[in-house]
Amino acid sequence: MGYFMKLNIIIPCYNEEEVLEESYRRFVKVMSGVSYDYSFIFINDGSRDRTLEILRNLAKQDEKVTVISFSRNFGHQNAVSAGLHNVDGDAAVIIDADLQDPPEEIPKMVEKWQTTGCNIVYAVRESRKGESFFKLMTARIYYRTLNALSEYAFPVDTGDFRLVDRAVVDAFARFPEKHKYLRGLFSWMGFRQEPHMYKREERYAGSTKYSLSKMVHLAAVGIFGFSKKPLKLAISLGLMCIIFAIAIIVWMVCLNIFRPEKIVPGWSSTIFIVLLMGGIQLFTIGILGEYIGNIFDETKGRPEYIIQEKINLK
Ligand code: UDP
Ligand code: MG
């Protein structure tokens, strides 16, 4: 616990014209009741609607509104990273723009951080409103699969909604990797972490900005970034195939010696083996491809995002 002065609230926005003004009102309403200083870091992640225009107007009226605007859509994880790279307070909260994570939880998370003296307060979804059965199911399966595959234990039912303090922000600045799976990185970091239970609300307006392909991408970044088990899977699958193939050959030889009349000069078994082997080879090559692709992206050393404009920020 310490004496603390300023909180940054990081809000990534992609095509959020329908919610932004209402979100800002709700955020200000909550934050006007606290005794510490604060500022908002809105990240415009290459929106094609009026998001930037709305943010400009808000920033004109309120100097606590700071804006980082990307040159194109770089994705939610990069938007949050940019926010974290621009934290000037003693702690920061990462929160969605669509009011699914209620702003009213922020002071409670700050209080938990202050009273427990921890470094991270991660918000755990006690319930989720207004989300499709498909999203709930895939999320459930995904988090548990990741935990089974990974060498680290990640808290389940946890998104990126969390409070991180200065020590965590400083540690984060030292992560050079491009494919960031933030919730994984934060639990990997260690420090003292406390859960905070909350009820996830429905999106205030508009529709999800996480398309299926973005969800699949995030899931792949999580699995291939935090587990080497898929690589090892290739070895065990390959080994199983070899044993299977040897067993079949032995069986054929035995048949040939003891029951030659039983042999059907067919090609179905051949096709079966060719298909099996081909499938397994493609599967394992695909796994290799994922990792090599990651290595390729990291070695190019390109920046994870490009900032076109900053408002109210140094
Ligand atoms: N978002 C973003 N870039 C993207 C997609 C989403 O900055 O490419 C932001 C979005 O504006 C929102 C947050 O990430 O503030 C979470 O997105 P969303 O609510 O659409 O996802 P869901 O809650 O449906 O998983
Ligand atoms: Mg949402």
Residues 6+ positions from 248 with CB-CB distance below 8 Å: 269, 273
- The arithmetic mean of pLDDT across residues 36-63, rounded, is 97
**Does the pLDDT value for residue 96 go beyond 90?**
yes
Determine the Cα–Cα distance for residues 172 and 176; give it in Å rounded to an integer. Answer: 9
- Beta-carbon neighbour count of residue 263 at 10 Å? 10
What does the pLDDT read at residue 1? Answer: 46
**Does the pLDDT value for residue 182 go beyond 90?**
yes
What does the pLDDT read at residue 248? Answer: 81
What does the pLDDT read at residue 227? Answer: 86
Longest dimension (CA), the chain: 92
Pocket lining: 73 vs ligand 1, CB cutoff 6 Å: yes
Pocket lining: 125 vs ligand 1, CB cutoff 6 Å: no
73 CA closest ligand 1 atom index: 8
- The arithmetic mean of pLDDT across residues 154-167, rounded, is 93
pLDDT, the chain, mean: 91
> pLDDT (tens digit, 9 = 90+) per residue, 113-147?
999 999 999 999 998 888 889 988 999 899 999 99
CA of 130 to the centre of ligand 2 (A): 10
159 CA closest ligand 1 atom index: 25
Pocket lining: 200 vs ligand 1, CB cutoff 6 Å: no
What does the pLDDT read at residue 253? Answer: 83
**Does the pLDDT value for residue 266 go beyond 70?**
no
pLDDT band at 268 (very low <50, low <70, confident <90, very high): low
Domain spanning 6-211+303-311, CATH class: alpha beta
The domain ranges of the chain are 6-211+303-311, 229-300
User: Percent of the chain at pLDDT above 90?
Assistant: 61
Residue to probe by mutation, ligand 1, list 17, 67, 76, most atoms within 8 Å of CB: 76
Residues 6+ positions from 89 with CB-CB distance below 8 Å: 5, 6, 7, 8, 37, 38, 39, 166
- The arithmetic mean of pLDDT across residues 239-258, rounded, is 83
> pLDDT (tens digit, 9 = 90+) per residue, 73-91?
999 999 999 999 999 999 9
**Does the pLDDT value for residue 2 go beyond 70?**
no
What does the pLDDT read at residue 283? Answer: 84
